[in-house]
Structure 1
Amino acid sequence: MKFTLKQIFVPNFAKRLSFMLPSIILMGVFVSILLEIGWGTDPASFMNQNISALFGWSMGRTQVTVYLFMLVFTILFGVEMIGLGTITNMVLIGYTIDLCRWIWKNIGFNTVLSQGNIALRIAIFALALLLFALAAAIYINAKMGVSPYDAIPNILNKWFTKIPFIIIRIAFDFSAVGIGVIAGKLNPNGIQGSILGSILMSILLGPMITLVARPLKKIL
């Protein structure tokens, strides 16, 4: 299948863009909070966080670099999944994380997130996780293309039709956590973030996104 401009200029383009773009930026905001708390984040961010720490790169540069390799794979085997949201996700989330963490540091919010009252941190963590799932659900249901990271399990699902998609997705997320662990082990400063938390995220985020996505379908 060939790439066509219809994948960029989808029906109801303006309406979908008005949902897709803010949701991607908000995903970056909420991931930045989860990273500062340090109890776990989505598997892709855990992987990128540890690659970023290993090479001394920003999260923005890391995500663009890692996703560029995934984008090549997607172009070769799943070009129909590419849209404006694919590139926007690849570029915006990482740099939004960098900007927010810089802001949190300068206003002292990072100290609250990493060392503050435990009850407050739990509340912020739960809220950030829920809002991240909501933003991700909006992004997915805008149907303007999937991220290179999300495209790969869909491609694998086409190849391995006898394996349920949920198994493929969890296995792929686990592999991302594994790459993050390897990068962390190679880093003299050790693993960044929580391995257990990110593993739990890989299991729980999918159902959470599905749950909050149901009412959104009527709007989008």
Structure 2
Amino acid sequence: MVNLVDRFKGKLIISCQAPADSPLHQPEMIAAIAQACVNQGAVAVRIDSPAHIEAVRNLLPDIPIIGLWKRMYEGSDVYITPQFSDALAVVEAGADIVAIDATARPRQGGENLADIVRGIHEQTGKLVMADLDTYENAVLAAKAGADILGTTLYGYTGETGNLTPPGFDLLAKFVQDFDLPIICEGGIGSPGMMLKAFEIGADSVVVGTAITGVDLLAQKFIQAL
């Protein structure tokens, strides 16, 4: 697993996802998009839901997958792999790393972040990527045993909703204060922004919409008319 993280250093990870109402949301389509990204040099892919992870794993048996499952539960705003059972499903589908919401927001059923991280480690042996929004939550995630810290949720929570990703300032604090692999994710819209993240000290960068968000990119152009 340590060697797996070493493979990411200085390299690009691409998030391959599509809206639920898009024809690209079909698992075989996401798998094809993932293969196209890997063909061009992506060292890993970030994939949402067991069905999509399984399709990508079947097509790309050797490529590292950061897996997650976006699910909404009543009474909680946590939606990235919110429950331990969701994490297990992600691993069973073929993920090498499990991405989870690691904010301090309450989870449905009262599950504890540290218990979820420990359960993933003990029952699956997989690494955990903490999707974060603030420095304070990064401290808690590190104490909980997360293996990787990401800026994924900067700008997407109630506490950071007034901020616009990418969270370069947050990234700089992570790099300075944590002896863990740091991934910059969220709002990386150009190669120049990616390079800036690496200059700040990110071990790896995840790009999603700017590369694979066909629906949102088309919508942006149409709306401009």
Please give the TM-score of this superposition, normalised by the length of structure 1.
0.28
- The structure whose residues are more often helix, as a share, is 1
Higher relative contact order (CA 8 A, sep 6+): 1
Please give the TM-score of this superposition, normalised by the length of structure 2.
0.28
- The structure whose residues are more often strand, as a share, is 2
